[in-house]
Amino acid sequence: MAPPIPGPVFWIDLFISFGIYLIISLSLNLEFGYAGISNFGKVVAVAGGAFAVGLFPGRVAASLLGIGLEYKGGNIYDIVPQINNVFKVNPGMALAFFFATLAVAALFLARFWVS
C-alpha cells in the first residue's frame, strides 16, 4: 500500500519555510561569504521577530476574545482551533491581528537590531 500523498497545505507550509530560510541564508552568505563581515545582529533580529510572532497573536487573541488564557500543557490545542474559528467568521479581525503582529515583529526587530 502506498503512503498517503500530502495535501496542498503541507506544500504551501513547506515552501514558505523554505523561502524564509533561503532569504536569511542568502543574505548572511552575501555579508559573510563575499564581504567577510560576520554579522550576527541580523540573526538576533530575525530570532527576536520570530519570537514576537510566535508569542503575540495567540495569547492576545485568546485574551481579547475571552477564549482562555491557560497556555500550559495540551490546552493550546483546544485554544488555537477556537481562535481560528473566530477568524474564519471575521476575516477583517484576522487581517487586523496579522498587521498588528507585523507591527510587533517590526518593533522587536528595531529593538534587537545590532548593526
Is there a single domain that holds both residue 30 and residue 69?
no
Is there a single domain that holds both residue 50 and residue 106?
yes
pLDDT of residue 66: 79
Is there a single domain that holds both residue 54 and residue 95?
yes
Residue type, 110: A
Is there a single domain that holds both residue 6 and residue 44?
no
Is there a single domain that holds both residue 73 and residue 18?
no
pLDDT of residue 40: 67
In this structure, what are the phi and psi dihedrals at residue 10, rounded to the nearest 5 degrees?
-60, -45
Per the structure, the count of domains in the chain is 2
CA-nearest of 48, 18, 43, 45 to 28 is: 43
Q: Which domain holds residue 93?
A: 40-115
Cell of residue 84, nine digits: 481560528
pTM: 0.53
Question: Along the 115 residues of the chain, how does pLDDT read in single tens digits?
Answer: 666 666 777 888 888 888 888 887 887 777 676 666 666 666 777 777 777 777 777 777 887 887 765 655 556 667 778 888 888 998 898 888 888 888 877 777 666 665 4
